[in-house]
Structure 1
Amino acid sequence: MTAPLPWLAPHRDTPFSGEVLVPGSKSLTNRVLILAALGDGPSVVTRPLGSRDTNLMAAALTTLGTTIERDGMTWTVTPPSSTSDAPATVDCGLAGTVMRFVPLLAALGHAPVTFDGDEHARVRPMATTIATLRSLGVEVDDGGRGSLPFTVHGTGHVAGGTVEIDASSSSQFVSALLLVGARFGQGLDLRHTGTTLPSMPHIEMTVAELRRRGVRIDTDEPDRWVVHPGTIDALDVEIEPDLSNAGVFIAGALVTGGDVRIRNWPADTDQAGDAWRDIVPAFGGTVRQDGDDLLFAAGPELTGVDLDLHDVGELTPVIAAMAALATTPSRLTGVAHLRGHETDRLAALVTEINRLGGDAEELEDGLLVRPRPLHADTFRTYDDHRMAHAGVVIALKVPDLYVENVVTTIKTYPNFAAVWERLMTR
C-alpha cells in the first residue's frame, strides 16, 4: 500500500482559543469490551471509541465467538454461548491491548489462535505474555522469537493460581492477567517481581472496572493482586472521553498562548490523561473547572518543566513537543519503558526534534530538551499516533512543517487531522 504524502500541518501566528469534545477513551473501551466478552450476559456500551485499535479489539473478540452489534454510538456485546475448536487468526495491528489482552482469552477456548500484526508490532515486547501463558500450562508456538507472530493452543480451562511476572516494560502485562483472572479455576494470585511498574493508572482502571462487575480483587500488598474466581457481571456502561487525546489540544492552546475548553472532563477517573491538571501549571499555565468542563489557559510564557512521567508515559511525546517550544530546558524522567512502545519513542523524539534544529538528548530513563530555534522539515511519525500529535504541536510554531503519515492517528482518534485543521486554521 502506498504511504500517504506528508501533511502540511497548520501553523498559527495568533493564540488558539476553542472548545473540544474528544472521542471516548481507547484504554477504557478495550477493557470494557474484554470484560463484556467474559460477562454472564449481554452488556451495552455507549459512546465507545470507534478507532483502529478498538475495531481491532472488536474483530478479535468476534473471531473468538463474541457477538458485537453496533447501532451508532451504542454497541451491544454478547459473550459466546459456546467455543469453537476451528483454527483462527487475530490481527493485532499495532494495538498493545489486543496483542497482550486477547491471548489470555484465547487460552480459555479450545481453538488454536494465531496472533500477528503490523511490521512494527513484531518488535514490541511480548516475551512476558508468552512466558506467562506457558507458566499457566498453555502451549504457545512462537518459533523461539518471544514476539509476534505466535499461536496459542487453548485447552478450554486454565487453572490459575500464583503467577509471578516482571511487568517493568508495560503495565499491560498485569492488566491482561487481571482481566481474565476471575475465569481461572483457582483465580489468580499475581505478583510483580520487577523493580519498577509503569503506568499505574491503567492498572487502577482495570481493577476499578473489575470491581464494578462484582469481581473480588485484593490489592492490600504492593505489587500483588489477588483475583478471586467467579463470574463477571454484565454491565451497561458509558465510555469517558479520552483525556490523553485531549492533551494535544491542551498543548495547542499553551504553545500559542491561548486557551481551550475540554468538555465533559470526568470528575473522578483513573485515566492517565487526568494528569494534565498538574502538567499545565508546571508549564506556567492555569486550569479551571467550569461545570462539567475544564478550562486550560497559557501563562505569560511557556516555561520548561522537570517531570517524572513514570505513571503517565503515554503523554510524553506531546509534553516533549511543548518542551521543545518552551523558554527554558526541560527534564522528563521515569519513562525508559517508552522504548518498547509503538516505536522507541525516546529515540524517535530526540531524532525528530534535533532534525528541526532542536537540542534533545536521551537520558537513561527519559529526555533532556533544551529549547532552540526550530526550522521547517518533515517530522517523521514512525507509524506512531503519539509522535504525530507531537509533530502537529510543534508545527503550530514552526511554519511549513510537514508531518509524515498523520493518518496513523486513526489508532485512537478517527478524523483527527480534519478536526485539528478545522480548529487551528479558523
Structure 2
Amino acid sequence: MSQEQGWAAPRAEGPVSGRITVPGSKSISNRALILAAIADGPSHLTGLLAARDTTLMRTALTSLGVAIADTGSTVTVTPGSLKGPASVDCGLAGTVMRFVPPVAALADGVVEFDGDEYARERPMGVILDALRALGVQIEDGGTGRMPYSVSGTGSVRGGTVTLDASGSSQFVSALLLAGARYDEGVDIRHDGKPVPSQPHLDMSVAMLRERGVQVDDSEPNRWVVAPGPIRALDSAIEPDLSNAAPFLAAAVLTGGEVTVTGWPEHTTQPGGQLPEIFTRFGAEASWTPDGLTVRGTGRVTGADLDLSQVGELSPVIAAVAAFADGPSYLRGIAHLRNHETDRLAALENEFNALGGDVTQTADGLEIRPKPLQGGLFATYHDHRMAHAAAVVGLLVDGLLIENIGTTAKTLPAFPELWSGLVS
C-alpha cells in the first residue's frame, strides 16, 4: 500500500517483546533551548531531540539572533542580541507558538508569528493578553490567534499578571521561562478551573531552579519569578517518556515484554506515570538499572482514570482501553479539544469508524470495547493519533494509518522502530 493510501500498520502475530531506546524529550528539549537562548553564556546540550518541533524552535531562536551549533551529539547554544525584524514558523508546535512570544518581547524589533493551517485555530489569546498586561505590544487583529506579531523594545517591564490557564499549562510555562529576564520579574496568578498537566509546570520550575532562577510556587495557582540572570548550564536531555507509550502498550495488549532503556529514576515528565497507568490495565512494571520493563499478563482490564495531569498520553491509553475486558473512562481531559487537533472528537470518530463504541463526555471519553475492523485511521496531522493507530493495528487486520509521517513531530524514526519491534 502506498504512503498516499495509508501506511499498513504491522499486525502482531504473537507477544511483542524487545528493547527500545527513544530519543530526547521534546518538552525538555524545547525548554532547554529557550532557557539557553536567554542565559548568561553558552550552554551545551546533549541528547537534544532532533524532530520537527525542536527544529522549529531552533529556527525561531536563530531568527532572533541566537547562535545554535551542532558538534556530534552536543548542541551549543550561544545567546546573542535579540532583534527583529524576524518571522517565526510555529508549525503545529504549541511550545513554539506559546514559549517564543515572551522571548520575542525581549527583542528589539517586530517578530511575526504564523504556522500550519490548524495552528491558526489554536487559542493564543491567553498568552497574548498576558504579555499585553506586562507592557508588550501585540498585534493579532483582535482574533487571539495566529498570525500575530510582537513588537519588542529590547526589554519588558514585567510584574503581576492574572490569567486563566485552564486551557493549557503552556500559558504559565511560557511566562515562567522568560520571566526572570523581565525588569520586575513576573508574578503569575491563575484564575479559573484547575490548570492541567501539572508535571509540565513542575518541569518548567525545576529547570529554572537548576539555572539559578528564584521561583516561588508555594501558593496554589501562583508562581513568582524573581528578576535576574539565567545561568548557562550544560545538561543531558532525558528520553521522551511519552513517546515510549505505544511501545509499552504493545506489551500490555499482546502479553509481551518491552523494556525502554534509560528510563530516569526521577522525572517531571508526564510519561513517568505510564507504569502506574498500565498496571491499572492489568500489566506488570519493573525497574532495573537498564530501564523500565512492562509485561502484559494476557488480560487487559477496564480502568477509570483521571488523566488531567497527563493528557498527552490519552490517545495511546484510549487504544489500550479499546481492547479491555470492560468499559474504561478517561476523565479530566477536556483541554485536549485544543491540542494539535480536537483529540476527543478525533478519537471518537476514528474508533467508531472501525466499529468501536466511544462516546465523548464533558471532560473525556467513555470507551466500551467492541470488535474492530480494518480501515483507514485518520491522524489529523497529530503524532499522538498516529501512535494510537499503530497500537490498534497490533490486533486489527488491515489497518491503514493516514500520514504516518506526522510522527516526525517528535519521533521521526517511529515507523522503523515500530516495525522493528512488532515484526
TM-score after normalising by structure 2: 0.98
Alignment of 1:55-204 (within 5 A): 55-80=55-80, 82-84=81-83, 86-204=84-202
Q: 2:23 aligns to what?
A: 23
Contact 1:88 1:113 in 2 (8 A): yes
Contact 2:203 2:268 in 1 (8 A): yes
Contact 1:266 1:292 in 2 (8 A): no
| Cα distance between partner residues in 2 of 1:72 and 1:117 | 30
| Cα distance between partner residues in 2 of 1:395 and 1:51 | 24
Of stretches 230-239 and 128-137 in structure 1, the one that deviates more from structure 2 is 128-137
Q: 2:354 aligns to what?
A: 356
| Cα distance between partner residues in 2 of 1:59 and 1:286 | 42
Q: 1:422 aligns to what?
A: 420
Q: 1:413 aligns to what?
A: 411
Distance 1:141 1:3, change over 3 A: farther
| Cα distance between partner residues in 2 of 1:6 and 1:292 | 36
The Cα of 1:148 is off from its aligned counterpart by 0.6
The Cα of 1:187 is off from its aligned counterpart by 0.8
Distance 1:169 1:3, change over 3 A: farther
Contact 2:134 2:160 in 1 (8 A): no
| Cα distance between partner residues in 2 of 1:22 and 1:191 | 36
The Cα of 1:375 is off from its aligned counterpart by 0.3
| Cα distance between partner residues in 2 of 1:83 and 1:275 | 38
Q: Deviations over 1:150-171 (max 9, x none)?
A: 0111111111111111000000
| Cα distance between partner residues in 2 of 1:359 and 1:130 | 39
Letter in 2 for 1:27: S
| Cα distance between partner residues in 2 of 1:197 and 1:3 | 39
Residues paired across the two proteins, number: 422
Distance 1:116 1:395, change over 3 A: same
Q: 2:402 aligns to what?
A: 404
User: Unaligned stretches of 5+ in structure 2?
Assistant: none
TM-score after normalising by structure 1: 0.98
Contact 2:253 2:298 in 1 (8 A): no
| Cα distance between partner residues in 2 of 1:220 and 1:138 | 27
| Cα distance between partner residues in 1 of 2:127 and 2:385 | 26
The Cα of 1:292 is off from its aligned counterpart by 3.6
Q: Deviations over 1:49-91 (max 9, x none)?
A: 00000000000000010000012321000001x233x421000
Q: 2:34 aligns to what?
A: 34
Letter in 2 for 1:6: G
Q: Secondary structure at the match of 1:111?
A: strand
Q: Deviations over 1:289-332 (max 9, x none)?
A: 11141110012301111000000000000000111111111000
The Cα of 1:259 is off from its aligned counterpart by 1.0
Alignment partner of 2:320 out of 295, 319, 322: 322
Letter in 1 for 2:162: E
| Cα distance between partner residues in 2 of 1:192 and 1:145 | 22
Q: 2:252 aligns to what?
A: 254
Contact 2:16 2:255 in 1 (8 A): yes
What RMSD over aligned residues (CA atoms) do the two structures have, in Å? 1.1
Is 2:293 the partner of 1:309? no
Q: 2:218 aligns to what?
A: 220
Q: Secondary structure at the match of 2:309?
A: helix
Q: 2:287 aligns to what?
A: 289
Identity of aligned residues (%): 56
The Cα of 1:3 is off from its aligned counterpart by 8.2
Runs of at least 4 residues off by over 6 Å:
none
